[in-house]
Amino acid sequence: MIDKNNSHFYDDMISQDYHKSKRHAWMPQIERGAQFAPFAALTGHREMIQESERVTEDKKIIDQQQWDCLNQKIADILLMNGNHPPVTIKYFVPDQNKVGGQYQLLTSSILKIDTCQKLLIMSGGMKIPLNNIYDIDI
C-alpha cells in the first residue's frame, strides 16, 4: 500500500524529463490563464439586481382644477394663429418592467391635439397621452 501522506511519495518523478507533446502546440501563458477565469454561474443575476435597484415613482393624480388649468393652457397655445411657442411639458412615462415610471421634461412646440386618441402631438412628431401630462410651462 502506498502512503500518500509521505513527503517522499513523488521523489521518483523529480528527475524525469518534462514531456512536450508533438501533436499539440504549446499554449501561450495568457490563454492558459483564461481557463481559470471566473464564470457566471447565475446568468442574468447581476442584471436582475440592477433592475431591482432602479427606482420608479408613482404617477401623481391631478385634480379637476389642475386638469382645467392644463386644458386652458393648451387651448391658449393652439389659438395663437399658427405661431406656437416652445413649451416645457412635464409628463409621466410608464415603466415597461416595473410598477410606476418616471417624469420627463420635453421642450417643444405643440402642433395639435388628437382628440380621438387623446394625444398631444409635438413638433418633433412625439405623441404624449393627455392623461400623462402633469404640467405645462409656456
Vertex 14: Cα angle to 13 and 15 (nearest 5): 95
Quote the CA–CA distance of 113 and 125 in Å, as a whole number.
Answer: 12
pLDDT at position 81: 65
Q: Tens digits of per-residue pLDDT, 49-77?
A: 888 888 899 999 999 999 999 989 888 88
Whole-angstrom distance, CA of residue 5 vs CA of residue 95: 62
Question: Which tens digits make up the pLDDT trace of 74-113?
Answer: 888 878 766 778 899 999 999 998 899 999 999 998 888 8
Q: What is the DSSP secondary-structure string of 53-117?
A: H---BPPPPP-HHHHHHHHHHHHHHHTSTT----EEEEEEEE-SSSS-EEEEEEEE-EEEEETTT
Take residue 114 and report the three cell numbers written for it: 388628437
Q: C-alpha grid cell for residue 26?
A: 504549446
Q: What is the pTM of this model?
A: 0.63
Average pLDDT in the chain = 85
Residue among 102, 79, 87, 66 at smallest CA distance from 136: 87
